[in-house]
Amino acid sequence: MTPQLAAFILYFVAVLGIGLFFFFKSKGTGEKDYFLGGRSMGPWVTALSAQASDMSGWLLMGFPGSILAFGMGQVWIGIGLALGTAANWIFVARRLRKFSQAANDSITVPQYLSNRFLTKSPALQIICAIVFLVFFTIYVASSFVAGQKVFIQVVPQLESNPNLALLIFAAIIIVYTFLGGFKAVCWTDFFQGLMMLAALLAVPIVLVMAKDIDYSVFETVDGGVNPLNPFSASWQDIASGLAWGLGYFGMPHIIVRFMSTKNAKVLKKSATIGIIWVVLSLGAAIAMALLGRGFAPTQALVDAGKQELVFVTLVQDIFSGPWAFVAGLLLSAIVAAAMSTADSQLLVASSSFTSDIYKPVFRKNASDKETLWVGRIVVLVIAVIAYFIASSKSEGAATIMTLVDNAWGGFGSAFGPVILLSLFWKRFTYKGALAGVVGGAVVDVLWMNFLTETTGVYELLPGFIAGGLLAIVVSLVDKAPSKEVQELYDYAVSTEIE
């Protein structure tokens, strides 16, 4: 057994141990504990689980790889994400925690949006839940594929049997999510967030200290663009990069963390921790990509079209020989990143079906124990479907991966404006929310298919604007919310909810 493989096995044993611990600890609890952790999460777990579930393997592979291959224009995505993260923690987190509990103690985002308006109509809740279910099943499949590819890179023995790599990766996620629920997911994401940050910081620091880097590449002009000047990027790159930040307001697997904290006060500490984590992680990823431009082995990756392996190549080169065990731990961070996103998306998709479709539509009198086990079964079903999607070699799998690339824009356009208006506008109505969700999603899809390529503008920006405008206009045309709805708003704004 190689030191790298030993480090991998040690990591996965720890992850499965967390799932088993929370399974036995949570026996006898209900759906709120399984899907929302009983609203008992502390500041560190809330912050790091939110950010780890957000960034995924993209942070260690796709993002630095795109900068390495396509230049500083890609840095604006990181800038947009950092600004969006900060805005999400500052403006949304505390209010959503208070509003979700004031709105009949809602445990899912669709449930919150319906309870916020005290409506008996299930239309908005069901529409939101279906969107979540479909897109998150695809998202989970995407994470399975990412985990499979990384697994093969760091455990070459599996290259001859890629489906086995996929099965092992999927099985580990399924076990601890199925058994432990939200608490297991949050605690594993907490440790995975620490691993991701440590790995990202270690590589550029050690690279500068231990390797010869050709710094002359930073003084040249590549294709008329200075490689160190982000402002030399096109306006489309800048606008599209900043638009990525808007997506945070509508990301259910991230904002559900805000709803899970012990109380509103905890979020102040969580915000500080989360923002620092994101700035350090994105900054380290950018530094790693820039330094990679002056490191010969990584230039060969670009020539071969494998720039997403820059982190793997640097780790295996820097931490070789007696440091192989450390390399295994650092490479585990990539798998941790993919897992931390897949588990969160799996759980949110399950909770959306169970709490927003199964219970209100099919079994209104279902007990907590029944909904808990239905949720566990749905976790398994979604994971199985995602596995077959991920293992498919057909053209359909490629189409799904394209949809996943645009799912961030879809969620941000459909739910971002509606979440913000529900928290900050007393005059906002149920019909306005319905129009915002549907309109934002439609504009996003239309722009993605017909205008993104020709305009160079990321579809999230027009989708977000359209969804917000439709929500506002329809609310103004609609009659004002009832007295009870306005009182709920006032209560949530003015009262500290413990």
* Residue 324 maps to a domain: yes
Rg (CA), the chain: 22
* Contact call for residues 15 and 176 (beta carbons, < 8 A): yes
- For the chain, how many structural domains are there in total? 1
* Residue 422 maps to a domain: no
Among 56-65, 81-90, 362-371, which range has the highest average pLDDT?
81-90
* Residue 8 maps to a domain: yes
What is the torsion angle, in degrees rounded to the nearest 10, for the CA atoms of residue 478, residue 483, residue 485 and residue 487?
A: 140
Q: Taking 60 as the threshold, does the pLDDT of residue 225 lie above it?
A: no
How far apart, in Å, are the Cα atoms of 175 and each of 41, 55, 180, 398, 422?
21, 22, 8, 27, 36
* Dist. CA 85–CA 282, nearest whole Å: 11
Q: What is the pLDDT of residue 266?
A: 80
pLDDT band at 201 (very low <50, low <70, confident <90, very high): very high
Q: Which residue has the higher pLDDT, 180 or 344?
A: 344
Q: Taking 70 as the threshold, does the pLDDT of residue 30 lie above it?
A: no
Q: What is the pLDDT of residue 33?
A: 59
**222: helix, coil or strand?**
strand
pLDDT band at 413 (very low <50, low <70, confident <90, very high): very high
* Residue 428 maps to a domain: no
| Average pLDDT of the residues in 247-264 | 85
Q: Taking 80 as the threshold, does the pLDDT of residue 214 lie above it?
A: no
Q: Report which of 469, 364, 86, 47 is spatially closest to residue 246, judged by C-alpha positions.
A: 86
pLDDT band at 34 (very low <50, low <70, confident <90, very high): low
Range of lowest pLDDT (57-61, 311-315, 423-427): 57-61
How many other C-beta atoms can be found within 10 angstroms of the C-beta atom of residue 414? 28
* Residue 445 maps to a domain: no
* Dist. CA 42–CA 48, nearest whole Å: 10
Predicted TM-score (pTM) of the model is 0.86
Q: Taking 60 as the threshold, does the pLDDT of residue 277 lie above it?
A: yes
| pLDDT tens-place string over residues 414-433 | 999 999 999 999 999 999 99
Q: What is the pLDDT of residue 394?
A: 57
Among 44-53, 112-121, 207-216, 339-348, which range has the highest average pLDDT?
112-121
* Dist. CA 408–CA 445, nearest whole Å: 12
* Residue 176 maps to a domain: yes
* Residue 264 maps to a domain: yes
* Dist. CA 448–CA 459, nearest whole Å: 5
Q: What is the pLDDT of residue 312?
A: 83
* Beta carbons within 8 Å of 6's beta carbon, 6+ residues apart: 325, 328
10: domain CATH number is 1.20.1730.10
| pLDDT tens-place string over residues 142-198 | 778 777 877 787 778 888 888 898 888 888 888 767 766 667 677 777 887 888 888
Among 49-63, 450-464, 474-488, which range has the highest average pLDDT?
474-488
What is the percent of the chain with per-residue pLDDT over 90, rounded to a whole number? 27
Residue 321, phi-psi category: left (phi > 0), alpha (psi -120 to 50), beta (remainder) = left
Q: What is the pLDDT of residue 444?
A: 92
Residues of the domain holding 31: 3-398
How high does pLDDT run on average in the chain? 82
Q: Taking 50 as the threshold, does the pLDDT of residue 122 lie above it?
A: yes
Q: What is the pLDDT of residue 163?
A: 87
* Residue 405 maps to a domain: no
| Average pLDDT of the residues in 47-76 | 81
How far apart, in Å, are the Cα atoms of 389 and each of 133, 137, 300, 338, 397?
15, 9, 32, 16, 6
Indicate the length of the chain as a whole number: 498
Q: Report which of 239, 263, 244 is spatially closest to residue 62, judged by C-alpha positions.
A: 244
| Average pLDDT of the residues in 433-452 | 93
* Dist. CA 269–CA 157, nearest whole Å: 44
pLDDT band at 326 (very low <50, low <70, confident <90, very high): confident
Q: Taking 90 as the threshold, does the pLDDT of residue 350 lie above it?
A: no
| pLDDT tens-place string over residues 98-109 | 999 899 888 888
Q: What is the pLDDT of residue 256?
A: 85
Where does residue 240 rank: exposed (0-12), middle (13-18), buried (19+ CB within 10 A)? buried
* Contact call for residues 261 and 423 (beta carbons, < 8 A): no
Q: Taking 60 as the threshold, does the pLDDT of residue 38 lie above it?
A: no
How many other C-beta atoms can be found within 10 angstroms of the C-beta atom of residue 38? 16
Q: Taking 80 as the threshold, does the pLDDT of residue 79 lie above it?
A: yes
Q: What is the pLDDT of residue 334?
A: 77
* Dist. CA 483–CA 148, nearest whole Å: 53
